Amino acid sequence: MTNSASHDHAYVRDEMLSEMAPPPGETGLVHWLRDNMFSSVSNGLLTLVALYAIYAMLAAVLPWMVLGVWNAGSLSECREILAAKYGDTDYACWAVLSERWKQLLFGFYPQDLYWRPVLALVLLFVALAPLLFDHLPRKLLIFSALYPFVMYLLVWGGSVWVPLSVIAGFAIGYFASKIITPVAGGLAGTIALFLAPVIWWLFLAGPIAGLFEDIIPLSIEAVKSKTIGGFMISIVIGLSGIALSLPIGVVLALGRQSDLLIVKSICVGFIEFIRGVPLITLLFTASLLLQYFLPKGTNFDIVLRVIIMVTLFASAYMAEVIRGGLAALPRGQYEAADALGLTYWQAQKLIIMPQALKISIPGIVNTFIGLFKDTTLVIFIGIFDILGLTGAIRASTEWNGIYWELFIFVAVVFWVCCFSMSQYSQWLERKLRTDHV
């Protein structure tokens, strides 16, 4: 039968039907509610109970929060205002935040120098941008590498030659490795890469920085560490620990899997010791004992000591997270790298470590979040972070007796930071997914 003949039959359609709208119950709000909240009798009952619990909680909390007072000089004045407006009530007294928010954020940092930590925070986002988003110009990574020294100079101030002398230590380690490797081999060059900067920093960096400062004075107003506190100290310690613990954790994870007995034993001993000791113990060690192991006359800043201990603590946990990612890779990935003739470090850089880090993203970010929250423990060694300052504020005569408002503020600040890290990690996981079309 030809096509023209087929058109003579009434039941043969010669044009496409237009698309029809879906049934009313299969789209829109009704469909979403049925699928997500009322898919069964038991789920419907649980939904109703949950909605009632949310309503009861909001009915009790929202008036307390919304009807609070924002302008008052003390808790007693705040209560007088509340009594005059609402009678016998116990609404929030947010005035403590209006009065003390600068202290909560900056501690006892000089007020006329607030612009320096604020500028450091702005530059932090500039430095993090090329590390977090790969479509930005790679030249910005130069500033990312220099940012720790810029941050130190802005927050602490003092001589410009001090951070420059620290940068010189990295250059010395690099050139020492380049000189020694052709003569004594790769292992000796690697040792020189790490040992030369340590010797420079411990014994030579300080005197040489002082000498240059005497010859060419370059400095800004110095700020003592005891004045640095509030949420600023949590950011400084937390971000320093996060930035340093990841590369150290990678090295420890690789060292734990090394075939060299000495290297493996050192890494395993370090990881197991650190993981078996509470962080507060390490902080007390940083505060009281670390100074005794340094050369006589060395003035080692307390915040720097805390950063070192927090970094070591986080590095041990990071090493185990990354080791889990390495263990999750199929053996064929290692064999494929060997088949391509890659060296150990080439295989780690191009094949093994990128996949292991991708697998380990949830654990890595979880460690970062835990580290950031653990910075509140510094109050036990006399550093007044944001949580420690709430106690100092509550001990004053003006605000003695206030609790929830300060703790809610601290919780919200930490939640915003930790939630941002969590959301970025989820975005990164979706971006790096390769198991979907």
Domains of the chain from N-terminus onward? 40-100 (no CATH), 159-220 (no CATH), 225-432 (1.10.3720.10)
- The 10s digit of each residue's pLDDT in 295-334 is 666 667 888 888 988 999 999 999 999 999 888 888 888 8
List the single range of 130-134, 286-290, 291-295, 330-334 with lowest mean pLDDT: 291-295
Q: What pLDDT was estimated at residue 317?
A: 93
Average of per-residue pLDDT values in the chain: 86
User: Exposure of 267 by Cβ count < 10 A (0-12 exposed, 13-18 middle, 19+ buried)?
Assistant: buried
Q: Is the pTM of this model over 0.95?
A: no
Residues of the chain with pLDDT > 70, as a percent, come to: 92
Q: What are phi and psi of 158, to 5 degrees?
A: 90, -160
Q: What pLDDT was estimated at residue 105?
A: 92
- The 10s digit of each residue's pLDDT in 156-184 is 988 899 889 989 988 898 888 888 888 77
Q: What pLDDT was estimated at residue 437?
A: 45
pLDDT above 60: residue 5:
no
CB 193 within 8 A of CB 171: no
- Non-local (6+) Cβ contacts of 389 within 8 A are 100, 103, 104, 107, 229, 230
- The 10s digit of each residue's pLDDT in 356-394 is 889 889 999 999 999 999 999 988 888 888 988 998 898
User: Exposure of 225 by Cβ count < 10 A (0-12 exposed, 13-18 middle, 19+ buried)?
Assistant: middle
